Amino acid sequence: MSALPQGDRWVVLKFGGTSVSRRHRWDTIGKLAKKRADESGGRILVVVSALSGVTNELLAISEGASDSAQRVAALVGRHRDFCIELGLDPERVLGERLALLEGLLEDPRAPARSLDWQAEVLAQGELLSSTLGAAYLAGPRGLDFGWMDARDWLLSAPAGENQSAWSRRLSVNCQWQAQGDFKARFDAQPQRMLITQGFIAAHAEGGTAILGRGGSDTSAAYFGALLLASRVEIWTDVPGMFSANPKEVPDARLLTRLDYYEAQEIATTGAKVLHPRAIKPCRDAGVPMAILDTERPHMPGTWIDGSAAPVPGVKAISRRNGIVLVSMEGIGMWQQVGFLADVFALFKKHGLSVDLIGSAETNVTVSLDPSENLVSTDVLNALSADLAQICKVKVIVPCAAITLVGRGMRSLLHKLSDVWATFGKERVHMISQSSNDLNLTFVIDEAAADGLLPILHEELIDSGALPVASSDVFGVRWREITGDIRPRPTPWWKSQREKLLALAWEGTPRYVYHLPTVRERARALAAISAIDRRYYAIKANPHPAILRTLVEEGFGLECVSLGEIRHVLASVPGLSPQQVLFTPSFAPRSEYTEALALGVTVTVDNVELLQRWPDIFRGRQLWLRIDLGRGDGHHAKVTTGGKDSKFGLPTARVEEFMQLAQALEVRIVGLHAHLGSGVGNREHWRLMYDEMAGFARRIGSVRTIDIGGGLPIPYSADDEPFDLEDWAEGLAELKRVHPQFELVIEPGRYLAAEGGVLLASVTQVVEKEGIRRVGLDAGMHTLLRPALYDAWHDIDNLSRQGGYADAEFDVVGPICESSDIFGRGRRLPASTAADDVIVISDAGAYGYSMASHYNLRGLPAQDILDDAG
């Protein structure tokens, strides 16, 4: 990079289609250009796209659409209207250009649609928008702006030997090594700020050349490289490159900093926000790039340059549609010298470039990018015919390629088990890992890819493969930007520091439960009118104070063992057995007999139970748990439906069960199935409820439908609080359709988790080969969820509350198990030291209740706080 004096440097600003289609955006363009000029003391080149949608129209015209005349007329009308919106005289500003556009239909080249004519047609969009913009910025806005024809400055580069005629004219590359006095001529332009077109260049053989769809980014990059600009800013409709297309994955994270190579990979594998050809010119010339949002100009955006410190991990997941797979089958092709050469020669002959390759003993499968010359199916037919001479060919279309991009993919494989499992449910045609270790691609049917990205993105975050905690790279979520997010409530313990420290002083590890928080959650559920009855699943936390609190709030208690039943009857004075549900799984006979004798409501979930112990159940009223065959949970180990789950009677056996029940005069009065939360997937959830109601009606005696618990809580800052309102609306809908059934829920976690924290003391802080570990006196014996489910719990240093969390630690326990880890790479104050009190959040559910004596370390203490303060 040359060391040009700052005042001599250019800043290149590129504005995409949506950024130039409205008047207020042109005001922003003017302001930004002026601001950049003032800040840098240098000069500004603005590169613009056509107004949004215009290139699509021009493309249709260039391809000879039958209604081309109407399309031209509409384009003329749209540009005239926009002139008026900008307060400009359409005739004076655009008269000539619009006449030229109309004239192209009468051009002698038009009937044959020669490629140079097509280029001319396509170029009109950018020529119009830049002309409009220059007139507005220099006119009403009074800025020192001049207009330039990009074709006087950018020249197509010599085409590669195998490039098709089409791409030689309509998808060209340009030269970006400045020749002669390029910059001096540029500098000699009288205005301080210039505006020109993206997407177009001069063709070396005369006429106009086109840079390919989305090519305005590339134009800006060429200018940036040719001028050795201080930077190239790509202004668009999102504030940067994200970890996935934000329009498809609302939880996608802004990537604040990338190196050229990762950005290149993300762009190449499908992130439309930056044209893949735009990076190399800037990289070669050492010109940094930024991606910014015209509507949100204050946001920092994505910064791409050569100095970003590499952060290992997945940075993005992208998707490309329209992938063509060509599978070539041949006997004994393995080790047959020259087979691949023969095959690839044919791809070359047809001007097709191969992207991914998979090979086996008798099969080679390759993918072709959805390049524009593939649009013509003739190419594929011709290729297939040629290939058929040497092997058996199968073309698989349409496919989608889903790619994980990031440094060190190979070393991340162990974190990708959920991702593999998700792909395992689809038909994966091909898996390919790039030799630069920057990507891992799965090719599946295009239809199967719909809706998959949000799931994969979440799995990548949950597994730690996409290290969102690395604030050097990852910024805000798209949803936060659009305001489509509800923040997590401030945890109660933040205002209880002194009390908690005093309790910790009495001994750690120690659970502390805050009853006001439990009450708050209980009341939120009680306010949902569609729910007729509520039970608390006490396995989450059977502390007597919590049980009493929830019974006072009108909850019944759901137990899964006789031990739990006895415990609730002993802990809650005056509790009637009618308030107790018993939902065991594979329990021994004695538990059923005793539960029935106590008069609690018993749920059964298999036929074999009735067959084996008919006398226990004869003449009883029972609830039946069915398995609707679909399960969902935050981890495979807590999935509660489907073939692999031990819970529930499969729907196929309901008939058989009912026959036996009738013979035993058993009345099934309640039906239970876990529906999960239903938020964001209401349709699927409603179908499940309809199915339950269908069974309930067939059984005849069912009065109650229990949809289980399963309401999530926001364990990490990445999780959004459960949308109770949306859920309540969904329930009201279920209730409207099936009003005859009493609706019952039985949450556990939702009520208890956020009300509890685990306090622990730091035993030792140890550094080993660059990893710093904070050791606690609590471990997996105290709180098992992280070790068992890889669950996330926020971890804070209570002793240094308010201190800046400026260092990363692995937080571990004292158990002799390598899985005894509460969290890796957690940010805590660097000063964290022995005897500090650590608070582990959201430990009120499945904390103490899953604690063990393992290593004979003893059980933790428990305390109750019951004040609002």
Q: Are 776 and 812 in contact (CB under 8 A)?
A: yes
Which of ligand ASP, ligand ADP, Mg ion, none interacts with 237 (beta carbon under 5 to 8 A by kind)?
A: ligand ADP
- Residue 841 lies near ligand ASP (rule: CB under 6 A): no
Q: Are 58 and 170 in contact (CB under 8 A)?
A: no
Restricted to residues 8-27, the positions that interact with Mg ion (CB under 5 A) are 16
816 catalytic? Reply is yes
The kind and range of the H/E element at 728 are helix 724-737
DSSP 171: B
Number of residues that this document lists for the chain: 869
Q: Return the closest-CA partner of residue 461 out of 792, 845, 842, 809.
A: 792
Residue 170 beta carbon to ligand ADP: minimum distance, rounded to whole angstroms: 18
Which of ligand ASP, Mg ion, ligand ADP, none interacts with 213 (beta carbon under 5 to 8 A by kind)?
A: ligand ASP
Which of ligand ASP, Mg ion, ligand ADP, none interacts with 346 (beta carbon under 5 to 8 A by kind)?
A: none
- Which tokens in the block code for residue 266? 């993300």
Pick 199 or 423: Cβ nearer ligand ASP: 199
Pick 208 or 236: Cβ nearer ligand ADP: 236
Residue 259 beta carbon to ligand ADP: minimum distance, rounded to whole angstroms: 16
Pick 270 or 648: Cβ nearer ligand ADP: 270
Restricted to residues 6-65, the positions that interact with ligand ASP (CB under 6 A) are 16-17, 49-50, 55
Looking at beta carbons, which residue is closest to ligand ADP?
16
Which residue in this structure is represented by tokens 């920092």? 300
Q: Are 670 and 601 in contact (CB under 8 A)?
A: yes
- Residue 125 lies near ligand ASP (rule: CB under 6 A): yes
Binding to ligand ADP by CB under 6 A, coded x per residue (else -) over 237-276, reads: xx--xx-xxxx-----------------------xxx---
Which of ligand ADP, Mg ion, ligand ASP, none interacts with 245 (beta carbon under 5 to 8 A by kind)?
A: ligand ADP
Residue 631 contacts by C-beta under 8 Å, 6 or more apart in sequence?
A: 639, 640, 641, 642, 645, 674
What span, in angstroms and rounded, lies between the C-alpha atoms of 672 and 564?
19
What span, in angstroms and rounded, lies between the C-alpha atoms of 846 and 843?
7
The dihedrals phi and psi of 337, each to the nearest 5 degrees, come to -60, 130
Residue 217 beta carbon to Mg ion: minimum distance, rounded to whole angstroms: 6
- Residue 214 lies near Mg ion (rule: CB under 5 A): yes
Pick 271 or 540: Cβ nearer ligand ADP: 271
Residue 17 beta carbon to ligand ADP: minimum distance, rounded to whole angstroms: 4
Residue 49 beta carbon to Mg ion: minimum distance, rounded to whole angstroms: 7
Which of Mg ion, ligand ADP, ligand ASP, none interacts with 373 (beta carbon under 5 to 8 A by kind)?
A: none
Pick 236 or 797: Cβ nearer ligand ADP: 236
DSSP 410: G
Which of Mg ion, ligand ADP, ligand ASP, none interacts with 536 (beta carbon under 5 to 8 A by kind)?
A: none
The dihedrals phi and psi of 645, each to the nearest 5 degrees, come to -100, 145
CB atoms inside a 10 Å sphere around CB 777: 19
Q: Return the closest-CA partner of residue 787 out of 835, 846, 716.
A: 846
Per the DSSP assignment, residues forming a β-bridge with 444 are 400, 428
What span, in angstroms and rounded, lies between the C-alpha atoms of 550 and 747?
12
Which of ligand ASP, ligand ADP, Mg ion, none interacts with 50 (beta carbon under 5 to 8 A by kind)?
A: ligand ASP
Q: Are 122 and 55 in contact (CB under 8 A)?
A: yes
Binding to ligand ADP by CB under 6 A, coded x per residue (else -) over 13-52, reads: ---xxxx-----------------------------x---
Residue 475 beta carbon to Mg ion: minimum distance, rounded to whole angstroms: 21
Which of Mg ion, ligand ASP, ligand ADP, none interacts with 110 (beta carbon under 5 to 8 A by kind)?
A: none
- Residue 216 lies near ligand ASP (rule: CB under 6 A): yes
- Which tokens in the block code for residue 385? 């015919």
Pick 256 or 603: Cβ nearer ligand ADP: 256
Residue 214 beta carbon to ligand ASP: minimum distance, rounded to whole angstroms: 4
Size of the site for ligand ASP (CB under 6 A): 13
DSSP 620: -
The kind and range of the H/E element at 797 are strand 795-797
Residue 477 beta carbon to ligand ADP: minimum distance, rounded to whole angstroms: 12
Restricted to residues 636-665, the positions that interact with ligand ADP (CB under 6 A) are none
- Residue 276 lies near ligand ASP (rule: CB under 6 A): no
Piece of the chain touching ligand ASP by CB under 6 A; list 214-222, 296-304, 385-393, 444-452: 214-222
Residue 55 beta carbon to ligand ASP: minimum distance, rounded to whole angstroms: 3
Q: Which of 83, 282, 559, 816 is catalytic?
A: 816
Q: Return the closest-CA partner of residue 513 out of 486, 553, 540.
A: 540
Pick 127 or 323: Cβ nearer ligand ASP: 127
Q: Return the closest-CA partner of residue 627 out of 606, 645, 649.
A: 649
Q: Return the closest-CA partner of residue 344 out of 282, 298, 287, 391.
A: 391
Integer CA distances (angstroms), 240 to 29, 258, 471, 860, in order: 17, 11, 15, 47
Cα distance between the two ends of the chain = 61
What span, in angstroms and rounded, lies between the C-alpha atoms of 702 and 491?
41
- Residue 125 lies near Mg ion (rule: CB under 5 A): no
Q: Are 94 and 131 in contact (CB under 8 A)?
A: yes
Integer CA distances (angstroms), 595 to 577, 662, 708, in order: 9, 21, 20
Residue 243 beta carbon to ligand ADP: minimum distance, rounded to whole angstroms: 7
What span, in angstroms and rounded, lies between the C-alpha atoms of 593 and 410?
55
Residue 436 beta carbon to Mg ion: minimum distance, rounded to whole angstroms: 25
Residue 737 contacts by C-beta under 8 Å, 6 or more apart in sequence?
A: 686, 690, 693
Pick 198 or 779: Cβ nearer ligand ASP: 198
Residue 632 contacts by C-beta under 8 Å, 6 or more apart in sequence?
A: 639, 641, 676, 710
Pick 200 or 419: Cβ nearer ligand ASP: 200
Q: Are 679 and 723 in contact (CB under 8 A)?
A: yes
Size of the site for ligand ADP (CB under 6 A): 19
What span, in angstroms and rounded, lies between the C-alpha atoms of 342 and 432?
22
Axis crossing angle, helix 54-62 with helix 68-85, rounded to the nearest 10: 160
Which of ligand ASP, ligand ADP, Mg ion, none interacts with 517 (beta carbon under 5 to 8 A by kind)?
A: none
Burial of 746 (0-12, 13-18, 19+ CB in 10 A): buried
Residue 259 contacts by C-beta under 8 Å, 6 or more apart in sequence?
A: 304, 305, 306, 307, 308, 310
Which one of residues 71, 109, 213, 494 is an interface residue with ligand ASP (CB under 6 A)? 213
Pick 271 or 560: Cβ nearer Mg ion: 271
- Residue 303 lies near ligand ADP (rule: CB under 6 A): no
Pick 171 or 579: Cβ nearer ligand ASP: 171
What distance lies between CA 102 and its chain's CA centroid?
Answer: 45
Pick 460 or 604: Cβ nearer ligand ADP: 460
Which one of residues 199, 492, 727, 846 is an interface residue with ligand ASP (CB under 6 A)? 199
Restricted to residues 50-89, the positions that interact with ligand ADP (CB under 6 A) are none
Restricted to residues 198-227, the positions that interact with ligand ADP (CB under 6 A) are 214
Which one of residues 214, 747, 779, 860 is an interface residue with ligand ASP (CB under 6 A)? 214
What distance lies between CA 235 and its chain's CA centroid?
Answer: 22
Pick 122 or 600: Cβ nearer ligand ASP: 122
Which residues are identified as catalytic? 816
User: Which residues here bind ligand ASP, judged by CB under 6 A?
Assistant: 16-17, 49-50, 55, 125, 198-199, 213-217
User: Which residues here bind Mg ion, judged by CB under 5 A?
Assistant: 16, 214
User: Which residues here bind ligand ADP, judged by CB under 6 A?
Assistant: 16-19, 49, 214, 236-238, 241-242, 244-247, 271-273, 316
